[in-house]
Structure 1
């Protein structure tokens, strides 16, 4: 099932919600309307129990070239835009869905920020990845916090202060992305990554996402309480019950004398 918005479209299939930015002539740069569309598409995914994974990608030659500088320079983007943008990113982070981004072509500014709010990141070898907001007199959103989680504070400062670009190989080397794929086969390879993630997105994995995100900056007492809360929910889940039933069936099955 496909839902079309003005700046993107959402496809629901095979346990995943595929959100594709669709402003290819603008290299999928995000204007104010794009954020409203993204928020609406996210709500459709978050509130759908059949969706286990949210997958982000871009139509055409780029994943997302960042904020729409044409609108920004014309005074059409103000503080409301940045507030709405962070609301969208928090929706991704706090959702129990596993989020994955495929970064190809230009993946700049807001494109990197969105990818950092995801749980997993895939990049093509030829991707052009960077956070150049400082050069435009802006703070690059809460990527100033998120980026340090993945690459360390020193490296994060280098990336956002110098605003230089890197390719997918370098992004993987420093821990910014999880997987690198060939530009020519990115769609097929990303489909495989999403399918693999859907297959393992049990209640336990999604609770683990929540626990890891909440624990990252908590002290031990907080972390311990959050862990126990999530673990209790995991123990009560249908996925846990099915896994234990399968284990019991396997354990009860007769073994041949030659079994190792």
Structure 2
């Protein structure tokens, strides 16, 4: 399979882009080729002004099984090659966080290790009731150190540590309670639920969404006072935008806003 076929891309007229991991026979593992393909597609989405929301999903019974252990074993003791692998993975996860568009993970099946990291890196996640999650690296002597970056920024410390230290699989209901995912739905309702959520978000001003997503992640890393200073500036700047003026006017005039995404 060529690199171009590893990720399937589709953008609908409503601005919802879907990227599908397309290597079910390899459990959609994050090989170098898969991550390079995903990174390239994320760059395309970021530059596409017609794309308003991104849905990330996968073909097959496994959403993503994490890194390709066969590939890692073939690298032997080549530290440089292994460092490139994990650096690329870290870059892809940051691409998702830094993407102007909101990203929704549509999870059916299993998401483990870096696959769980992939889910945690998305802004929102909806899973079927049969989905399962784990960071099982500890079971094979390779602690899930990079996955814990995204995991620990989504769930409480004790929940994150329990997943990391035990390596045990958790179900979708538990993942929802922990805050790893937003919703659990029946498998037959997964696609329609995600589509409705994506369409709802796509109906907002993309300029406003970009401002809000960027501010959300930046303020998380700040102290309380700095966060309020920063977000106050963001809101004042946001008010200068055409869409903010249009939105406020539409609300006061009791009409639907007409976004220009500016």
Same fold (TM over 0.5): yes
Residues 27, 62 of structure 2: 8 Å contact kept: yes
Q: Distance between the aligned counterparts of 2:69 and 2:202, measured in 1?
A: 35
Residues 24, 61 of structure 1: 8 Å contact kept: yes
| 1:47 equivalent in structure 2 | 47
When structure 1 is superposed on structure 2, of 172-181 and 222-231 the one drifting more is 222-231
Residues 112, 133 of structure 2: 8 Å contact kept: yes
In the alignment, structure 1 residue 36 sits paired with structure 2 residue 36: yes
Q: Distance between the aligned counterparts of 1:201 and 1:113, measured in 2?
A: 28
Superposed displacement of residue 20, structure 1: 0.4
| 1:116 equivalent in structure 2 | 120
Structure 1 gaps of 5+ residues are 252-260
Residues 109, 131 of structure 2: 8 Å contact kept: yes
Residues 203, 234 of structure 1: 8 Å contact kept: no
| 2:171 equivalent in structure 1 | 167
In the alignment, structure 1 residue 128 sits paired with structure 2 residue 127: no
When structure 1 is superposed on structure 2, of 233-242 and 96-105 the one drifting more is 233-242
| 1:257 equivalent in structure 2 | none
Q: Which runs of 4+ in 1 moved over 6 A?
A: none
| 1:189 equivalent in structure 2 | 193
Q: State how 1:21-100 maps to structure 2 within 5 Å.
A: 21-75=21-75, 78-100=82-104
Superposed displacement of residue 141, structure 1: 4.3
What is the number of residues matched between the two proteins?
248
| 1:39 counterpart SS class | helix
Q: Distance between the aligned counterparts of 1:165 and 1:201, measured in 2?
A: 38
Q: Distance between the aligned counterparts of 1:57 and 1:245, measured in 2?
A: 37
Structure 2 gaps of 5+ residues are 256-262
Q: Distance between the aligned counterparts of 1:208 and 1:195, measured in 2?
A: 18
Q: Distance between the aligned counterparts of 1:117 and 1:150, measured in 2?
A: 9
Describe the superposition over 1:112-164 as per-residue Cα deviations: whole angstroms up to 9, x where unpaired. 11111111011111012111122233342433233223221111000011111
Say which of 147, 166, 180 aligns to 1:143: 147
| 1:246 equivalent in structure 2 | 250
Residues 102, 122 of structure 1: 8 Å contact kept: yes
Residues 27, 64 of structure 2: 8 Å contact kept: yes
| 2:5 equivalent in structure 1 | 6
Change beyond 3 A, Cα 1:138–1:230: farther
Q: Distance between the aligned counterparts of 1:139 and 1:216, measured in 2?
A: 25
